[in-house]
Amino acid sequence: MLRISNLSVSYASHRVLEDLNVSLKPGSFTALLGSNGTGKSTLLKAMAGLIPSKGSFYHSEHGKLAPQKRGDLVAYMPQDAGATSSLTVLEVILLGRLRSLGMRVPECLQIEASESLASFGLKSLENRTLDEISGGQRQLVYLAQSLFRNPSILLLDEPTAALDLRHQLLVLDRVANHCHRNDTVAMAAMHDISLAAKHADRLICLSQGNIVADGPPEDVLSEPLIRDLYGVEADIIKGSNGTLHITPLRAV
Amino acid sequence: MTIETSTYNEVITEPSAYAKMINRRLFWLFLSIGLLLTFTLTDILVGPAFLNVFDVLDALLMTRENTDPTVYVIVHSIRLPMTLMALIVGASLGIAGVQMQTILGNPLASPYTLGFSAAAGFGAALTILFGIQLPYLPEFTVPVAAFLMACLACGLVYGFAHLRGVTAEIMILAGIATLFLFQSLQSLVQYMASPEVLQEIVFWLFGSMLKATWFSVSVSAGILLIAVIILARNSWKLTALRLGDERARSLGVNVQHLRIKIFFVVSLLTAGAVAFVGTIGFIGLVAPHIARMLVGEDHRILMPLAGLMGALLMVGASIVSKLISPGYVVPIGIVTAVIGVPFLFSLILMRKKSHW
């Protein structure tokens, strides 16, 4: 269990997150929803220990998590597809286990990194450099790197933003399966509500730095909530297999 | 609808693709070592004294008693220190350049960018102008002043970055301001100098291996060795920095701490290189790019290759500087760009993909 208590983050005099309290279960995949600028990325960065924040983080297995201690437990994937460089795809994956790398890279680690790429259908790209592949492929590479780290806490900022429809489904399925199988605490900021409802076990909705709704997708999602969160009128239809489909109709 | 993750699974048939890539990179490393040995020997063999090649080889390989004493003195007291100094300065500037480009995330960065070389030049010019001399060790006055002034420039940039945040942008801004400050002060000193003193200052600023001694060789080599050890221990973190600050931090790298540490190492390397031989341009900018084009961004191989490329360019320039005008040595600082630019251009033209 990861317990976040009284989390507040401010940029200069502007308070972005206000006294948030959240508990996240291992093996659960939580989607973070909210309009632009409501603090989704800020929450993920604060959890990763990348920005200064007030509040405490407590992990049932690892105890109190100081920001500098989180680097070993947390894999955080930023929103953008990343700067290009002449690092190869396989090197990027290997960097996921930075602390295990010495002057020689053990063969077992090379094979594991290669397998990790193969599990995302990226084996053929392993010796290509980051500037030779597309933005979507780069996002897949960074996602593979995040999972290769085998973290206790997985934080993804818009992990499907640069992906095509097929890869969006495959990737979220992969993330959900990974966290269920490895008891990982996973949280992803997302804009596609239908995808979030389909793959996440829990939705947390943020508005102006506060949690306004929290729970399983079928309990949380409602047309008034979407109207309040995004200023959009939407239809919510429940499919035959229980999946919620959200169709945005018009901006209010 | 659930899509099985097995949709993604592929069969791994060739797990050694990475090993093959590393072997290709090591090939460039060993080829450069071979070339450097050849260049080094050639540089020792040529010189303004027109010595017989076999006499020089005798002086190199045999004891003092079995060789011509004049040749022995020329080889051991002049040519060897000059060649070794060219090698060490080239390697130092190549390594300093690659690390500067890495910590500042900028392909135009070099040991010149943050004004260390300009500061060293000002320190030297100042002591030459006022004829200041250290008690007991007058011959070390200029190198010590150059070294201290380069350290002062480093302190200025660090102080500014410490106040405003240790980011690449702030450091570049502070460094360029420092560069202009010391360039202006250098010009002021030159303006104030008499024609004779001005000639001496300009000669120092050109950069020349004629100033090399065994003492300067040992000091610069010691600094290079310490720097290489520190940098090698941080090679994976430096590689991770090429993914950008945020990604490096998310991988557990303390980016600020790393940037400051490498910044001090690079300052020391640059000061150690330029204090004894004067400002040598271009090597610190071009050697890292050549190395990066050949082996990519893995700092375990990139850092030593940038050093080797710097040393190759520098020793190559030293050979050319002796051959341009037989019987006379043109200051090496003048030759480095003339040698390096065509080499860099040809590599850029031959290579199809970008390297930064």
- Which CATH number fits the domain that encloses residue B192? 1.10.3470.10
Q: What is the mean pLDDT of residues B21-45?
A: 95
- Please, where are the H alpha helices in chain A? 40-48, 67-73, 89-95, 107-118, 135-148, 165-182, 193-199, 217-220, 223-230
Residue B13 lies in a domain: no
Residue B9 lies in a domain: no
Q: How far apart are CA A182 and CA A153, in angstroms?
A: 10
Residue type, A149: R
- CA neighbours within 13 Å on the CB side: how many for A66? 2
Is A217's pLDDT higher than 70? yes
Supply the range of the domain harboring residue B125.
Answer: 27-349
| Listed range (A24-33, A94-103, A133-142, B342-351) with the worst mean pLDDT | B342-351
Residue B52 lies in a domain: yes
A-chain residue closest to B352, CA distance:
A132
Q: Which pair of structure tokens corresponds to residue B247? A: 């990604």
Closest to A71 (Cα-Cα) out of A32, A97, A104: A97
β-bridge mates for residue A32, sequence order: A189, A204
Q: What is the mean pLDDT of residues B209-213?
A: 85
| Listed range (A138-152, A235-249, B182-196) with the worst mean pLDDT | A235-249
Residue B18 lies in a domain: no
Residue B1 lies in a domain: no
Of residues B277 and B337, the one with the higher pLDDT is: B277
Residues of B in contact with A86 (CB under 8 A): 292, 296-297, 353-356
Tell me, what's the pLDDT at A89? Answer: 93
Residue B332 lies in a domain: yes
Is B3's pLDDT higher than 50? no
Residue B172 lies in a domain: yes
DSSP three-state, residue A150:
coil
- CA neighbours within 13 Å on the CB side: how many for B255? 23
Tell me, what's the pLDDT at A70? Answer: 79
Is B238 in contact with B99 (CB distance < 8 Å)? yes
Residue B300 lies in a domain: yes
Residues of B in contact with A241 (CB under 8 A): 1
Is B281's pLDDT higher than 80? no
Tell me, what's the pLDDT at A90? Answer: 93
Q: Tokens 């030049």 map to which residue?
A: B121
Question: Are A82 and B243 an interchain contact pair (Cβ–Cβ within 8 Å)?
Answer: yes
Tell me, what's the pLDDT at A121? Answer: 87
Is B1 an interface residue toward A (CB < 8 Å)?
yes
Question: Are B296 and A129 an interchain contact pair (Cβ–Cβ within 8 Å)?
Answer: yes
Is A67 in contact with A146 (CB distance < 8 Å)? no
Q: Residues B322, B324, B329, B330: is their CA dihedral positive or negative?
A: negative
Nearest-Å Rg of the Cα atoms of chain B is 22
Domains of chain A: 2-251 (3.40.50.300)
How many structural domains are present in chain B?
1
Average pLDDT, chain A: 89
Tell me, what's the pLDDT at B223? Answer: 94
Is A236 an interface residue toward B (CB < 8 Å)?
no
Each residue of B326-337: pLDDT tens digit? 777 788 888 887
Name the pLDDT band for B353 (thresholds 50, 70, 90). low
Q: What is the mean pLDDT of residues A141-163?
A: 92
Q: What is the mean pLDDT of residues B46-68?
A: 83
Tell me, what's the pLDDT at B1? Answer: 38
Task: State the nearest Cα–Cα gap between A154 and chain B, in angstroms.
Answer: 11
Residue type, B319: I
Each residue of B69-121: pLDDT tens digit? 888 889 999 999 999 999 999 999 999 999 999 998 888 888 887 888 899 99
